[in-house]
Amino acid sequence: MSNNKPEQVGRVFERFFQETDEACCVLEAQVEASGQLGFVLLEANASFRKHAWCGETPPGHGREPALPLDEAWLELLREVALSGCDLHACLEGPEPEQWFEVRAFRAGDAARPVVGLRLRDISEQRRLVDRLQNLRRITTVGVLFWGAEFGLVDANEGFIQMSGFSREEAIGKTWQELTPEEFHPASWNAVRQVLTRGEATPYEKQYLRKDGSRWWGLFAPRKIGDQVMEFVLDVTQRRHAEAALREQDRRKDEFLATLAHELRNPLAPIKNGLHVLRLSTQADSPAQRTLEIIDRQLNHLIRLVDDLLDVARITAGKVRVDKRVVPLRDILTRSLEATQAAIDAKQHRLTVELPADDVHVAADVDRLTQVFSNLLSNAAKYTGAGGAIHLQVLAGEHQLDVTVQDSGIGIPAEHQAGVFELFSQVRDHQPHFEGGLGIGLALVQSLVRMHGGTVEVHSEGAGRGSTFRVRLPRADAPAQGRPADVAQPREGAARRILVADDNQDAADTLASLLRVEGHEVVTASDGLEAVERARTFRPEVAFLDLGMPVMDGLEAARRIRAAEELAHIRLVALTGWGQASDRQRTREAGFDLHVVKPLTPTAMQEALAIAAHA
């Protein structure tokens, strides 16, 4: 049994020899006629034969093999045959990008040497290594290799250039050392993704250069074996360009806000002056008709400026809605009142369909009125004369759907999604219809959202009319009857009134307006003068502008409140600012009422009525 072992082992080795992927052969060295040492094939395995390197005759016939190697390597083989030293080399084959790993050793003595030869095609591995080396050389994309503990084990030239570290300095660093503190959460998130699903969604963060400065990179890590390979693009320039754009955008917003404010200031005295003129002009005279035209145009201008101001406030996040539960009907009535003139002017047929019982919403009355006024005036504007406008409320258990439908020019499908964006206008409409600033619907959307609702548009296309649907959460009716409506102007007796404003025109027109109404009025142009006038004139009501030189309106109010003999004076703050915080400041200073400019004649009467009865 044991005698058989060498034979069995021989058979096993024979099988190994035949079955291995490496091309193996046994060569016999022979001195040729030329005196040179040549080689003939004694034996070759299957892989060797597969390559057809055996020449035309089968192995064992002593033919020279047709090896894919040139003369130079034959020299190496001769050296093996003569010296008995082993050969292990990578040699190029005759085909492009073809490489072999060659091993050779001598068996037998130097007199009749036999050489064992193994060839392994390593072209694919070489190509892979070449590719990796090219990856290391590229500079446009950084490539990082992270070890198991997230220490850097290798980095390419691109990353070296981006980071300013040499390769030696970079290797061994952890991502924590290279990432500024505030971006650690983003990196941890990526690490988690890589560990759980093998790769992370590409993400942007800052990295630290060697000199401590920062650069922006777009990172895309992926797990490969127990390492992580990460590609990174330097996006610093793009980030800076974006920041510059944002800054420009912010300045534009700021400019629009200032512009709207500055435009609004002169409008109040003009409006008031016009009112005075109309009251003192003969009815139905050419002058009266001209004043009416000016008034209409002025109202249009005031609406545009107000919209602009609203947009500026909304973009700055300064709009707050002050909600209370009111019947939706009240809001729609106010919206219809505001737009009736525009609807009538174009002889549109208006139909209104409301639920029989009152339904309620939690609403900032002014703001929600603005929403439906905008939709109704758009319906009137973008519908040819004699069209139809339908306002409908459908009440669900938890929501209210208000639709404003018109038979107008419609909106092509491709424009429908964009109409709610700021400054968007459907260009095809503009030549035929008086346009605005492209603000109205953006305001509508923001305000509806602030009420927890949604707005959407539907149109069958150009010429087929449009339907805007506002969906609002339905509120429960208030427990005790209807809440008080917005105060109506009340007729009042002649009063003694102080008007303080450093804008002479504003003060004068308001004073004229009040005098026309029969009140006795004095004016002051700064806070100090206002306090003086309050002492001497003893007004019942004082309108104080807040932004005045020498002493501002807040301080003037505090001083008036501090004087016992002036305690009865009703104080009305006039200001361009209407935030809750602004209102709180005026309340704290002792004002009875906070009025946002411009003070229109109606608002003036309301203010007077409320202040006088406060």
**Closest approach of ligand ADP to the CB of residue 456, in Å:** 13
**Residue with smaller CB distance to ligand ADP, 310 or 364:** 310
Segment contacting ligand ADP by CB under 6 A, of 101-109, 418-426, 479-487, 563-571: 418-426
**Residue with smaller CB distance to ligand ADP, 383 or 586:** 383
Amino acid in position 327: P
Residue from 68, 158, 387, 438 touching ligand ADP (CB under 6 A): that is 438
Of 177, 120, 102, which Cα lies nearest the Cα of 144? 177
**Site for ligand ADP contains 440 (CB under 6 A):** yes
**Closest approach of ligand ADP to the CB of residue 466, in Å:** 4
The torsion defined by the Cα of 503, 507, 510 and 514, in degrees rounded to 10, comes to: 180
Segment contacting ligand ADP by CB under 6 A, of 167-175, 351-359, 432-440, 582-590: 432-440
**Closest approach of ligand ADP to the CB of residue 293, in Å:** 22
Of 376, 368, 370, 436, which Cα lies nearest the Cα of 400? 368
What value, to the nearest 5°, has the Cα angle with vertex 112 and ends 107 and 113? Answer: 30
**Closest approach of ligand ADP to the CB of residue 426, in Å:** 3
Cβ(37)–Cβ(30) under 8 Å? yes
Cβ(439)–Cβ(311) under 8 Å? yes
**Closest approach of ligand ADP to the CB of residue 237, in Å:** 35
- 3 state DSSP class of 224: strand
**Site for ligand ADP contains 305 (CB under 6 A):** no
**Closest approach of ligand ADP to the CB of residue 371, in Å:** 11
Residue from 409, 455, 541, 571 touching ligand ADP (CB under 6 A): that is 409
Distances (CA, A) of 241 to 238, 245, 253: 5, 6, 18
**Residue with smaller CB distance to ligand ADP, 427 or 568:** 427
Within residues 362-401, the interface with ligand ADP by CB under 6 A covers 378-379, 382
**Residue with smaller CB distance to ligand ADP, 276 or 442:** 442
Distances (CA, A) of 144 to 159, 169, 427: 7, 14, 50
Nearest-angstrom CA–CA distance, 108 and 92: 28
* Unique residue bearing structure tokens 């084959």: 93
Residue from 389, 439, 450, 611 touching ligand ADP (CB under 6 A): that is 439
**Closest approach of ligand ADP to the CB of residue 443, in Å:** 7
**Residue with smaller CB distance to ligand ADP, 357 or 414:** 414
**Closest approach of ligand ADP to the CB of residue 276, in Å:** 31
**Residue with smaller CB distance to ligand ADP, 344 or 532:** 344
Q: Is the peptide bond before 355 cis (omega within 30 degrees of 0)?
A: no
**Site for ligand ADP contains 425 (CB under 6 A):** yes
**Site for ligand ADP contains 437 (CB under 6 A):** yes
**Closest approach of ligand ADP to the CB of residue 253, in Å:** 17
For 533-552, letters b (16+ CB in 10 Å) and e give: bbeebebbbbbbbbbbeebb
Segment contacting ligand ADP by CB under 6 A, of 174-182, 404-412, 474-482, 553-561: 404-412
**Residue with smaller CB distance to ligand ADP, 439 or 511:** 439
Contact flags string 319-358 toward ligand ADP, x per CB under 6 A: ----------------------------------------
- 3 state DSSP class of 593: strand
**Residue with smaller CB distance to ligand ADP, 261 or 390:** 390
How many residues form the binding site for ligand ADP (CB under 6 A)? 22
**Closest approach of ligand ADP to the CB of residue 455, in Å:** 11
State which residue has the least CB distance to ligand ADP: 436
Segment contacting ligand ADP by CB under 6 A, of 105-113, 291-299, 425-433, 544-552: 425-433
Residue from 170, 326, 343, 419 touching ligand ADP (CB under 6 A): that is 419
Within residues 456-515, the interface with ligand ADP by CB under 6 A covers 466
Cβ(282)–Cβ(608) under 8 Å? no
Q: What is the DSSP string of 259-328?
A: HHHHHHHHHHHHHHHHHHHHHTS-TTSHHHHHHHHHHHHHHHHHHHHHHHHHHHHHHTT------EEEEH
**Closest approach of ligand ADP to the CB of residue 536, in Å:** 49
Residue from 406, 502, 526, 540 touching ligand ADP (CB under 6 A): that is 406
Of 177, 175, 178, which Cα lies nearest the Cα of 190? 175
**Closest approach of ligand ADP to the CB of residue 474, in Å:** 25
Range 190-198, long-range pairs (CB < 8 A, 24+ positions): 190/219, 190/221, 191/150, 194/221, 194/222, 194/223, 194/228, 195/223, 198/222, 198/223
Q: Which residues 6+ apart lie within 8 Å of 128 measured at CB?
A: none
**Residue with smaller CB distance to ligand ADP, 439 or 556:** 439
* Unique residue bearing structure tokens 């002169």: 266
Range 32-36, long-range pairs (CB < 8 A, 24+ positions): 36/78
Residue from 59, 158, 269, 408 touching ligand ADP (CB under 6 A): that is 408
**Site for ligand ADP contains 153 (CB under 6 A):** no
Distances (CA, A) of 202 to 136, 155, 193, 232: 21, 18, 11, 9
Segment contacting ligand ADP by CB under 6 A, of 36-44, 200-208, 257-265, 419-427: 419-427
Radius of gyration of the chain (CA): 45
Nearest-angstrom CA–CA distance, 144 and 161: 13
Nearest-angstrom CA–CA distance, 362 and 381: 29
Q: How far apart are the first and last CA of the chain?
A: 123
**Closest approach of ligand ADP to the CB of residue 465, in Å:** 8
**Residue with smaller CB distance to ligand ADP, 426 or 595:** 426
For 495-525, letters b (16+ CB in 10 Å) and e give: bebbbbbbbeebbbbbbbbbeebebebbbbb
Phi, psi of 525 (to 5 degrees): -110, 0
Q: Which residues of this chain interact with ligand ADP, rule CB under 6 A? A: 378-379, 382, 406, 408-411, 419, 424-426, 429, 435-442, 466
